[in-house]
Amino acid sequence: MPVDLFNNAACALAVTAEDGTILQANARFGEWLGLSPTELCGRRFQDLLTMGGRIFHQTHLAPMLRMQGNFTEVKLDMRHSDGRKVTVLLNAIKRTHAGETFYDLALFGTTDRDKYERELLNARKLAEALLQEKTATELALQQAQADLSDAYAIAQRRAMFAEQMVAIVSHDLKNPLTAIRMASDFLNRGERTTKERQLLGHIGQSSERAQRMIADLLDFTQARVGQGITIKTAPVDLHALTHQAVDELRVAFPKATLEHHALGSGDASLDADRVQQIIGNLVANSVAYGDLQRPISITSRLGDGQCEVSVHNHGAVIPHTLLAGLFEPMTRGTDQGSDVRSVGLGLYIVRELARVHGGDVAVSSTEQGGTTFSVRFLPVGAVEV
C-alpha cells in the first residue's frame, strides 16, 4: 500500500508481527490512542487493550487469526494514553511474506455507530410502547363501545316502555275526562249562581286543555311507537275548512284577534280533521307566545301548485339557536310558560301531520316581520295514504 494512502487513511491501520508486535501504524491509530506512530511501533497490540480485551484477544482472537487467517468487526476496548477507554471494531487478515507471518489490522471507531444503535434501540422501545398503548386503547374503545351499545339498548327499551305506558294512560284518561265534560255541561244548563258558573267554566276549560294534552300524547306515541300517524284524505275546500277552524278557535281563545286570509283558488286533497288540528296547534302556539294586542293572521293559500296554511303573530323573536330543534318533542321557542300550552308536543305533531300529507313545515322569525309558521301540502292527488 502506498505510504501516503496508509498514513492518511480514514481508519486506523497497523501491521503486526505474529506475536502482535506493531511494526507499522498510521497517524489515525496514533490519534485515537494519544500516541505517535513512532511510539506505537515496537509495542504489542494486545498490550494496548483493556484487561478484558487482552483476555478475549488471547483466548479467541489470536487463535482464530492463526487458524482461519482473518476475522471481521470484532468489538474491542482499547486504552487511551490518558487512561480512558476507546471502543473500536477490529478487522484483521493474516499475510505471509518472505517466509514470515504478518497481520494487517484495520480499526474503525464506534462512537457514531454506538450512538446510532442507541437511538435505534430507543426508537424501537418507543415504537413498542406506542404499539402497546395503541392496543390497550383499542381494547378500551371496544369495551366502551360495547358498554355504550348495551346502555343504548337498555335506554331504548326503557323509552319504548315509557312511551307505551304514556299511550295506555292517555287512552284510558279519555273516558273519565269525557264524563267530566258531559257532567259540567249538564250542570251548566240549570240555574246557577255567578260563582258556580265561573267554577263550571274553569272545569270545562281545564278538561278541554287536558283533552288537548291527551290528544297530543296519543299522536306522539303513535308517531314514535306505533306505525305512524295515519290520515284519510278527501277533496276539501281549504279556504272553507280554514275559515271554520278559525271560527271555532275564536271561541276557544276569546282574548285573541284571529284574522283569516284566503289567497288563490284550486283543489286540495287533505284530511280535514288533521288540517284543523294543525291550525289549532299553530294558533295555540301564537296565543301562547304572540302579542295579543295585535292580530294573529291565518292564511290559506292555493294555486300554482301550492297548497299551504300559515299562521303569523307579532310575538317575541324566536332565538336563532332554538330554530333548528323547534319541531322536536318537548321543545319550546322561549322560556315563557302558558296555560294554553300542552306538553310541548304541538309543533312536533304539526310537523308529523305535514309530512304524512307529503309536505313539511317551516318557520321564520324576525323582529320586524314577526313569526310565521308555514305548512305546505302536496297538490291534489299526490298524497298516498
Encode pLDDT of 182-215 as tens digits. 777 777 777 888 888 788 777 876 777 677 667 7
pLDDT for 306 equals 84
Question: Which range in 100-114, 317-331, 335-349, 360-374 is most confidently predicted, on average pLDDT?
Answer: 360-374
Q: Which amino acid is at 354?
A: A
- With cut-offs at 50, 70 and 90, classify the pLDDT of residue 382: very low
Closest CA to 106 of 3, 19, 2, 24: 24
More confident residue, 55 or 113: 55
Euclidean distance between CA atoms 222 and 68, whole angstroms: 94
Strand blocks (E) in the chain = 12-17, 22-25, 70-79, 85-97, 100-109, 234-236, 258-263, 268-270, 296-303, 306-313, 360-366, 370-376
CA-wise closest residue to 375 among 356, 340, 342, 350 = 350
Q: What is the CA radius of gyration of the chain?
A: 49
The Cα 200–Cα 203 span in angstroms is 5
Has residue 335 got a pLDDT over 70? no
- The C-alpha cell at 379 is 297538490
pLDDT of the residue at 338: 47
* Mean pLDDT across 376-385: 57
Q: 78: closest CA among 116, 38, 117, 29?
A: 29
Beta bridge partners of 236: 268
The answer to whether 274 and 312 are in contact (CB under 8 A) is no
Place of cell 315563557: 336
Q: Which of 59-63, 117-121, 264-268 has the lowest mean pLDDT?
A: 117-121
The type of residue at 236 is V
User: Helices 272-289 and 238-252 sit at what angle, rounded to 10 degrees?
Assistant: 40
d(C-alpha 129, C-alpha 100), whole Å: 57
**How is residue 318 annotated by DSSP?**
P
Largest Cα–Cα separation, the chain: 149
Closest CA to 232 of 355, 383, 378: 383
By C-alpha distance, which of 44, 37, 40, 49 is closest to 17?
44
Contact between 312 and 257 under an 8 Å Cβ cutoff? The reply is no
The percentage of residues in the chain with a pLDDT greater than 70, rounded to a whole number, is: 82
pLDDT in tens, 208-255: 767 766 776 666 666 666 566 778 889 999 999 999 999 988 988 889
Distance CA 54, CA 349 (A): 95
The per-residue pLDDT for range 260-299, each reduced to its tens digit, is: 999 998 888 999 988 998 999 899 999 989 999 999 999 9
pTM of the model: 0.49
Looking at residue 381, its pLDDT comes to 44
Annotate 120-149 with b (16+ C-beta within 10 A) or e (fewer).
eeeeeeeeeeeeeeeeeeeeeeeeeeeeee
φ/ψ of 94, rounded to 5, equals: -85, 135
62-67-69-70 Cα dihedral, nearest 10 degrees: -60
- Of 312 and 345, which is predicted with more confidence? 312
Higher pLDDT: 262 or 383? It is: 262
For the chain, give me the number of helices (H) and strands (E)?
Answer: 11, 12
Neighbouring CB atoms inside 10 A of 377's CB total: 26
Structural domains for the chain: 3-109 (3.30.450.20), 115-224 (1.10.287), 234-376 (3.30.565.10)
> How many of the other CB atoms lie within 10 Å of CB of 10?
8
Residue 133: all three cell numbers together:
398503548
